[in-house]
A = this chain, B = another copy of it.
């Protein structure tokens, strides 16, 4: 479980309130570790209980807004965790199960729906990544740190392209399996 460490990382980059974290998760770290605001609040409570972060009412902010900061103990914990290792996360993909199910049922069961749906999603995601690459990583020299960021983005790009290729090819093969309007 990496949520606590994802939160520590994000707070280390920029101390802020729970809601701000939730918003940042939607487009940066949460990209690799999605989390809802409910999860985040609960986890922030645990982090504070563990003495890894401190919180204080935020001056000049509306409502009960609190600001969370990483404490030295939290930084140590994050350092400890970074040096650990895990197996690659297991895949769990309903589309693959559907393809197999369609084969077991004999064709005409309708996986094409899911294939086309996913194709649209992956194309949209790819377009997003390409826009980000264009905006942040093009036309200039990059520092080593920036090159690492770029590598991560490129990995996302490669994944989306692979998925698109897969869906397109699968659709072609399925069409070949059921020539008439089954």
Contacts and interface: CB of A to CB of B under 8 A. Distances in A.
A141 interface: no
B95 A86 contact: yes
A44 to B, nearest CB: 16
B84 A113 contact: yes
Given A104-B9, A155-B166, A94 B177 contact: no
A8 B100 CA distance: 11
A27 interface: no
A91 B32 contact: yes
Interface string A157-171: 011001100100110
A53 interface: no
Contacts of A29: 97, 100
Interface of A: 2, 5-6, 8-9, 12-13, 29, 31-34, 75, 78-79, 81-105, 109-111, 113-114, 116-118, 121-122, 144-145, 147-149, 151-152, 155, 158-159, 162-163, 166, 169-170, 173-174, 176-177
11 contacts: A5-B97, A5-B101, A12-B101, A33-B92, A79-B109, A88-B163, A103-B148, A145-B177, A147-B173, A155-B166, A159-B159
